[in-house]
Chain A
């Protein structure tokens, strides 16, 4: 199959929330929704009593990623609002939990996705909400 120099189809700037970069975000958020909630599930099911706070935060993180993924997938006005709220909570979560896990290591004996600003996940959890919020902001309704 020759690699023909056909022009790349580009989407218009006002294309839907879930196209272009949005689809990549959807993929990455989906991966984090899965990994965070699966991790929380295993932690809560097998050794919940060891670090209740950390594991509950894992579960919350999982839910936030799930709702962000749903918001991006749904698109439109409603999806945008869901994604906006989830990404904002996500940003606050990673900053607060990240800071607490550094300042008060005793309360966080076991890691969550957001511990140490997501260092266990290549700091992607720290960068992701910024990209997400920027993308949502770029797709604010034109009025």
Chain B
């Protein structure tokens, strides 16, 4: 959970968030690129969640497994939900939805790391 993949996900999500918030500030609707970029980050997050799920069957299970599972489901569903809502909103607010999602994703990843660091071993 603490590998370079999490760091990469957090950095990429934050960079994309800055871009999307700028786009919203400039009053642009989500372009194909904006949606695809968010989808790419969602894929990165999905891989991260998959790795975490595989880790659940290993030796170092987080002691708070229920919370961890809840966060995993939320995290993997986050990007797709934002993209779905943004597609219904072809205005600047669509980009703001995507931007907010990309701001919250790093928080979710950090929370996952926090919960995962307390293990039953």
Contacts and interface: CB of A to CB of B under 8 A. Distances in A.
Interface residues of A, number: 22
Interface string A14-42: 00000111011011101100110010001
B2 interface: no
Nearest to B74: A34
Contacts of A23: 85, 88-89, 93-94, 97
Contacts of B33: 1, 3
Mostly, the A contact residues are helix
A34 B77 CA distance: 12
B70 A27 contact: no
| Chain B interface size range | 20 to 34
B109 interface: no
Contacts of B32: 1
Contacts of A21: 93, 96
B92 A8 contact: yes
B96 A24 contact: yes
B81 interface: yes
A110 B110 CA distance: 21
Contacts of A10: 91
B31 interface: yes
B18 interface: no
A8 B26 CA distance: 10
24 contacts: A1-B31, A3-B31, A8-B27, A8-B29, A8-B92, A9-B29, A9-B90, A9-B91, A19-B89, A20-B89, A20-B91, A20-B93, A21-B93, A23-B85, A23-B88, A24-B100, A27-B82, A27-B97, A27-B101, A28-B100, A31-B104, A34-B74, A38-B70, A46-B66
Interface of A: 1, 3, 8-11, 19-21, 23-24, 26-28, 30-31, 34-35, 38, 42, 45-46
